[in-house]
Amino acid sequence: MASWRDSATVTVEIAFDNNPLTAIGSCTWVDVTTYVRDWSTRRGRTTELANHSPGTAQVTLDNRSRLFDPSNTAGTYYGKLLPMKRIRISASSGATSATLYCGYILGWPIDYPGMADSTVTLGCVDGSRVLSQAVQPSTAYDAKVLADSPNCFWQLATVDGSGLSPATVGGVDVQDFYWGNDAFFDPAELTITRPVGADVAIANASWTAASVPTVAPKTIEGWCWNFRQGNYGSTSIMRAALDATNWIRVNVDATGVLSVGYSNSTDNRSWALASTGFQLTGSLHHLVLTATATTLTMWVNGVSMWTGTLSVGTSSVTFTPAAPSVVAVCQPAAGATINPAVYGLAVYSANMAAATVGEHYQAGLTGYGHPYGDRAGARIGRILDAVGWPSADRDLSTGSTVLGPWIGSGSPLSACQAAADADQGLWFIGGDGKAVFQDRQWQMTNSSAITAQATLGDSTGETPYYDIEIDGNHLDWIRNVVTVTYDAGSVTVKDTTSVTAYGEQDDSVNASSIPPTGGYVARQLAAYRLRLRKDAKTRIPSIKVKPRTATSTHLPTMLGLELGERVTVKRRPTGGTGTFSQDCTVQGISHRVGPDNWIVQLYLAPTIPSYTEGPYLTLGDATYGKIGTVAGNKIPY
Residue 183, domain CATH: 2.60.120
Q: Which residues pair with 602 in a beta bridge?
A: 543, 589
Q: Report the percentage of the chain scoring pLDDT > 70.
A: 78
Last residue of a domain, one of 319, 342, 366: 366
Across 167-176, 197-206, 479-488, least confident range = 167-176
Q: Is the pLDDT of residue 57 over 80?
A: yes
Q: Are residues 182 and 321 in the same domain?
A: yes
DSSP 8-state symbol, 173? -
Per-residue pLDDT, 280: 79
Q: Is 623 exposed, middle or buried (0-12, 13-18, 19+ CB in 10 A)?
A: exposed
Among 101-110, 463-472, 522-531, 550-559, the range of highest mean pLDDT: 101-110
The stretch 331-340 carries a mean pLDDT of 55
pLDDT of res. 635: 62
CB 15 within 8 A of CB 86: yes
Q: What are phi and psi of 438, to 5 degrees?
A: -110, 105
Specify the pLDDT at position 391.
Answer: 93
Give the pLDDT confidence score for residue 341 in this predicted structure. 63
- Please state the rounded mean pLDDT for residues 612-621: 61
Would you say residue 248 lies in a domain? yes
Using alpha carbons, select from 469, 425, 475 the residue that is nearest to residue 446. 425
pLDDT tier for residue 636 given thresholds of 50, 70 and 90? low
pLDDT band at 178 (very low <50, low <70, confident <90, very high): very low
Inform me whether the pLDDT recorded for 189 exceeds 50. no
pLDDT of 509-545, one tens digit each?
A: 888 888 777 788 888 889 888 988 999 998 999 999 9
Residue 449 has pLDDT above 90, yes or no: yes
Element (H, E) at 359: helix 354-366
Q: What is the pLDDT of residue 236?
A: 67
Residue 416 in 3-state DSSP?
A: helix
Q: Are residues 214 and 272 in the same domain?
A: yes
Same domain, 419 and 452: no
Strand duo 269-279 + 257-264: pairing: antiparallel
In the chain, the number of structural domains is 3
Quick one: pLDDT at residue 335?
Answer: 55
What average pLDDT does range 447-459 have in this prediction?
A: 93
Assess if residue 478 is contained within a domain: yes
Dihedral of CA 127/128/133/137: which sign?
Answer: positive
Contact between residue 480 and residue 498 where contact means Cβ atoms under 8 Å apart: yes
pLDDT score, position 116 = 86
By the 8 A CB rule, do 598 and 546 touch?
Answer: yes
What is the 8-class DSSP label of residue 423?
H
At 365 the pLDDT is 80
Position 474 in a domain = yes
pLDDT tens sequence across 15-46: 999 999 999 999 999 999 999 999 999 999 99
Q: Does 419 share its domain with 491?
A: no
**Is 279 contained in some domain?**
yes
Which of 207-221, 251-265, 361-375 shows the lowest per-residue confidence on average (mean pLDDT)?
A: 207-221
Is pLDDT above 50 for 53?
A: yes
Collapsed DSSP state (helix, strand, coil) of residue 467 = strand
| 278-292, 299-313, 434-448, 463-477, range with the lowest pLDDT | 278-292
What confidence tens digit (pLDDT) does each residue in 59-74 have? 999 999 999 999 999 9
| Residue 145 reports pLDDT greater than 90 | no
Structural domain of 475:
448-606
**Same structural domain, 499 and 595:** yes
Does a structural domain hold residue 614?
no
Q: Give pLDDT, residue 535.
A: 93
Average pLDDT over the chain reads: 81
Confidence of residue 298 (pLDDT cuts 50, 70, 90): very high
Spell out the residues 6+ positions from residue 453 whose beta carbon is closer than 8 angstroms to its own: 557, 560, 561, 565, 566, 567
More confident residue, 459 or 83: 83
Residue 399 lies in a domain: yes
More confident residue, 435 or 48: 435
Between CA 287 and CA 344 the distance in angstroms is 10
Whether residue 156 has pLDDT greater than 70: no
| Cis status, amide bond into 321, omega within 30 of 0 | yes
Asked if residue 167 and residue 298 are part of one domain, the reply reads yes
pLDDT score recorded for residue 306: 96
Q: Give one DSSP letter per residue of 243-301, joined into a string.
A: ETTEEEEEEE-TT-EEEEEEEETTTTEEEEEEEEEEE--SSEEEEEEEE-SSEEEEEET
Q: Are strands 53-62 and 119-125 parallel, antiparallel or unpaired?
A: antiparallel
* Whether the Cβ atoms of residue 42 and residue 56 lie closer than 8 Å to each other: yes
Model confidence at 180: pLDDT above 60: no
| Peptide bond just before 371 cis, omega within 30 deg | yes
Same domain for 505 and 431: no
Model-wide pTM > 0.75: yes
| pLDDT greater than 90 at residue 131 | yes
Residues 508 and 425 in one domain: no
Final residue before a domain boundary, out of 422, 445, 468: 445
Residue 617 has pLDDT above 80, yes or no: no
Task: Please say if the pLDDT value at position 98 is more than 90.
Answer: yes
For residues 184 and 322, membership in a common domain is answered with yes
Work out the pLDDT band at 255, boundaries 50, 70, 90. confident
Which of left, alpha, beta for 406 (phi over 0: left; psi -120 to 50: alpha)? beta
Whether 625 maps to a domain, the answer reads: no
DSSP 197-252: TS--S----S---S----S---EEEEEEES--TTSB-SEEEEEEEEETTEEEEEEE
Residue 175 reports pLDDT greater than 60 = no
Q: What is the pLDDT of residue 329?
A: 63
Reported as a pLDDT band with limits 50, 70 and 90, residue 182 is very low
pLDDT at 6: 53
User: Would you state the pLDDT for residue 567?
Assistant: 97
Q: What sign for the dihedral angle of Cα 313, 319, 322, 328? A: negative
Highest mean pLDDT among 83-92, 126-135, 381-390, 398-407: 83-92
* Distance from C-alpha of 178 to C-alpha of 155, rounded to nearest angstrom: 17
Q: What percent of the chain has pLDDT over 90?
A: 47
Per-residue pLDDT at 187: 34
Q: Cα–Cα distance between 567 and 606 in angstroms, integer?
A: 10
pLDDT recorded at residue 3:
53
Q: What is the pLDDT of residues 368-387, one digit of tens each?
A: 765 556 889 999 998 898 88
Rounded mean pLDDT, 161-175? 29
- Stretch (H or E) spanning 440: helix 440-445
Task: Tell which of 417, 445, 473 closes a domain.
Answer: 445
Contact criterion met (CB below 8 Å) for 423 and 400: yes
**pLDDT confidence of residue 55:** 96
Q: Is residue 532 domain-shared with residue 409, that is, in the same domain?
A: no
The three-point CA angle 184-185-191 to 5° equals: 175
Please tell me the predicted confidence (pLDDT) of residue 381: 92
Shared domain for 435 and 458, answered yes or no, is no
Q: 263 with 396, same domain? A: no
- On whether residue 15 sits in a domain, the answer given is no
Phi, psi of 235 (to 5 degrees): -165, -175
CB burial readout 21-41, b (16+ within 10 A) else e: eeebeebebeebbebbebbbb
For residues 190 and 42, the model is more confident at 42
